[in-house]
Amino acid sequence: MFDCGFVGTLEPMKSSTRLVVLAPLALSALAVPAFLSPPRVAPQAAVPEAKEGPLEEAMQALQAGVKGLDKALEKKEVDKALGLVVGMQKAAHEAKLGTPEKAGEITDEKEKAKFLTGYRLKLIELERGLLDVEVALVEGKVDEAKKALEAKVKPVKKAGHDVYKDGK
């Protein structure tokens, strides 16, 4: 097979060479059982579930984004507005993949499917409005960005809340 020169006989090797060769082997033999045993984890106290999930967090980010975007556009702070609108797009995308709490109240499967489809389409409409705001900002048209926010983002947000948000 392979002739490594020292396989089978360690006598001709110097003791320092033997140490270099044998030490990693001995250490690896000790390490293998450590990797195979389950990790030792201290027991943790039960963590209460968060009242707010990813959907609520995304919606709060959208709400804060609208307020911040209004202010940034008023001050004509294009870079700040661009950062806010991109953050809102991310939040809208996250929200789109969520399920509103109100869907849990619907027992009929066809009605629930219709409700969830409408919810997702409403968030896609919101994303389109946010893209229109972004395009206007990229083009340096702050007034058009304000118009898009007022005409394509805020009304969609309100309409979505009227239908898909529970009690608000």
Domain count, the chain: 2
Tell me the pTM: 0.67
Q: Which tokens hold the place of 86?
A: 């991109």
The residue range of the domain holding 134 is 54-164
Q: Which tokens hold the place of 33?
A: 């059982």
For 4, list phi and psi in degrees, rounded to 5.
Answer: -90, -5
Residues 60 and 124 in one domain: yes
The string of pLDDT tens digits covering residues 64-106 is 999 999 999 999 999 999 999 999 999 999 999 999 999 989 9
Residues 59 and 14 in one domain: no
Task: Assess if residue 130 is contained within a domain.
Answer: yes
Task: Assess if residue 44 is contained within a domain.
Answer: no
**Which residue's entry shows tokens 């409700």?**
115
The string of pLDDT tens digits covering residues 134-145 is 999 999 999 999
